């Protein structure tokens, strides 16, 4: 049975209890047109917490999940297929996962898709879900259209994305979020270990850098520092200062060269 022959998605169950599950469950619970039917999570601490936060019932066993129109699986990439295979789905129910780099077909031959929120989430930290880009993919046009309808109820930014496109998007997220945050941590550790200064020293710099980047037509146009200026004397001194840690020195050299070479494109 295709979605064009059934009623619109209303009742939704979120499977998982991590950061993504929390954000999506809260967004659904706050929607006037959708019902968060259940939080399905084996974690006996987080499951009841999400249930209390959203007002939805909690189920610890995925094989005992309640009937729903849509199941959104928010678990680790490696567990998506195994969890999907254990869900008791009626014939016209749809199951999706939220992973950036997992194929849709890992969900099996049922009505399936992907519901990928392009954002970093942290438990207990609320985000404006209406501003989160949502990338959807369905196993056929009817499923895709219905997933788009649900996505538009949760976010103002909804796009279609094939598995290949989603992998590329996920990679850019790793570069712009995970790698950048690792550099924040590297800088914070050096400040603390070498100078005994707190991370708070870096906050204004990080905030201003981020503001400039998002307000610019392209982040490269607001790039500053010795690398973009081609100041070899300063960069050589920095490399010497980092020489005690070969990984950090190599990271610095690679990024310096990248900035210098790409700055020529401006």
> Can 3-161 and 167-263 be said to share one CATH topology?
no
Is the model's pLDDT at 114 over the cut of 60?
Answer: yes
Summarize pLDDT for 211-239 with one digit per residue, the tens.
999 999 999 999 999 999 999 999 999 99
C-alpha closest to that of 170 among 140, 143, 145, 135: 135
pLDDT of residue 91: 86
At 158-173, the pLDDT tens digits run 999 999 999 999 999 9
Average pLDDT (38-56) is 95
CATH of domain 3-161: 3.40.50.720
Is the per-residue pLDDT at 148 higher than 50?
yes
CATH 3.40.50.1820 fits 167-263, yes or no: no
Structural domain spans, the chain: 3-161, 167-263
DSSP string, 120-140: --BTTB---GGGS-EEEEESS
From residue 78, give the alpha-carbon distance in Å to each of 4, 23, 90, 91, 121: 32, 20, 24, 25, 19
């Amino acid at each position: 049975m295709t979605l064009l022959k059934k009623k619109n998605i209303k009742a939704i169950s979120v499977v998982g209890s991590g950061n993504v599950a929390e954000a999506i469950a809260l967004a659904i619970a706050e929607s006037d047109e959708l019902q968060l039917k259940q939080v399905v999570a084996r974690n006996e601490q987080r499951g009841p917490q999400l249930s209390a936060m959203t007002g939805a019932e909690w189920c610890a066993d995925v094989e005992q999940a309640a009937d729903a129109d849509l199941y959104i699986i928010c678990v680790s990439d490696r567990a998506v297929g195994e969890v999907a295979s254990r869900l008791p789905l009626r014939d016209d129910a749809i199951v999706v996962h939220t992973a950036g780099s997992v194929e849709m077909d890992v969900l099996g031959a049922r009505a399936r898709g992907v519901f990928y929120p392009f954002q970093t989430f942290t438990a207990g930290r609320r985000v404006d879900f209406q501003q989160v880009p949502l990338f959807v993919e369905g196993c056929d046009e009817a499923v895709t259209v219905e997933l788009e309808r649900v996505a538009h109820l949760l976010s103002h930014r909804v796009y279609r994305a094939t598995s290949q496109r989603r992998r590329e998007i996920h990679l850019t997220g790793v570069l712009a979020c995970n790698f950048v945050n690792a550099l924040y941590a590297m800088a914070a550790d050096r400040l603390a270990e070498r100078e005994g200064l707190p991370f708070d020293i870096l906050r204004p710099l990080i905030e201003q850098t981020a503001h400039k980047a998002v307000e610019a037509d392209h982040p490269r146009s607001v790039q500053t520092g010795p690398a973009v200026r081609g100041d070899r004397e300063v960069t050589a001194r920095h490399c010497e200062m980092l020489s005690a840690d070969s990984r950090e020195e190599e990271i610095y050299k690679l990024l310096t060269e990248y900035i210098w070479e790409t700055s020529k494109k401006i």
